[in-house]
């Protein structure tokens, strides 16, 4: 029963549609009706501005972190549940949120939050990689996919060093999610029509 509760809590954490709630509560705007229509930080930046975008990014990151840390709570510490499994559940919740008609974001920030909660040095590496890629390409989508690839390659090396098989598999799975959710962006990148950020 405790394991079921953990899974439910992780999914509900991931399902928090921060872009939708921040937009409606503070800006009287449904971000799904503007920009790309996506419930993610990138569209929030585009539609509502830097402040809202930053807040949504932080919340989405912390959703993944909180899910991973659920097993650290005294009540759940004896379940034996691997924290990365809960991280994946939270990522699925972000992509398919029950609070937003099962139509969510692309899970980049929440995936990063999973790494933050499980192994923060790796989170720093992927964050710096993202910022460098964004500075060079000016495209959030391409930078996100670069980070997914670099993160997986790094975790393969990390596996050789530490034997952390679960981390390698979970990061690989999150990378697959990210590439799949960006399939429309890939088409636009190839066509040269993918929007570029103007603030970096």
Residue at token pair 């530490």: 162
DSSP 162-190: H--HHHHHHHHHHHHHHHHHTHHHHHHHH
Answer whether 99's CB lies under 8 Å from 106's CB. no
Sorted by where each begins, the domain ranges of the chain are 2-191
pLDDT lower than 70: segments of the chain: 199-200
Alpha-carbon distances, residue 38 vs 21, 41, 105, 132 (angstroms) = 13, 9, 6, 24
Answer whether 199's CB lies under 8 Å from 50's CB. yes
Measure the CA–CA gap between 58 and 79, rounded to whole angstroms.
29
pLDDT given for residue 74 in this prediction: 84
pLDDT given for residue 80 in this prediction: 83
User: Which three-class secondary structure state does DSSP give residue 104?
Assistant: coil
pLDDT given for residue 141 in this prediction: 95
Residue at token pair 């509900």: 12
pLDDT given for residue 191 in this prediction: 95
DSSP summary character for residue 96: S
Condensed to tens digits (0 to 9), the pLDDT of residues 62-117 reads: 999 999 999 988 877 778 889 999 999 999 999 999 999 999 999 999 999 999 99
- As a whole-number percent, the residues of the chain with pLDDT over 90 amount to 86
pLDDT given for residue 76 in this prediction: 77
């Amino acid at each position: 029963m405790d394991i079921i509760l953990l899974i439910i809590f992780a999914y509900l954490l991931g399902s928090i549609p921060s872009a939708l709630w921040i937009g409606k509560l503070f800006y009287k705007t449904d971000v799904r009706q503007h920009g790309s229509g996506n419930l993610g930080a990138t569209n929030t930046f585009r539609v509502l501005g830097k402040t809202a975008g930053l807040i949504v990014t932080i919340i989405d990151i912390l959703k993944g972190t909180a899910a991973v840390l659920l097993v650290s709570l005294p009540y759940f510490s004896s379940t034996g549940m691997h924290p990365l499994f809960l991280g994946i559940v939270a990522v699925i919740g972000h992509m398919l949120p029950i609070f937003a008609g099962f139509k969510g974001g692309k899970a980049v920030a929440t995936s990063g939050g999973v790494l933050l909660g499980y192994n923060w040095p790796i989170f720093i590496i992927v964050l710096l990689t993202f910022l460098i890629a964004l500075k060079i390409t000016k495209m959030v989508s391409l930078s996100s996919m670069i980070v997914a690839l670099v993160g997986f390659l790094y975790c393969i090396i990390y596996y050789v060093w530490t034997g952390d098989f679960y981390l390698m598999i979970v990061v690989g799975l999150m990378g697959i999610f990210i590439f799949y959710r960006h399939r429309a962006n890939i088409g636009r990148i190839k066509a040269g029509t993918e929007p570029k950020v103007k603030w970096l």
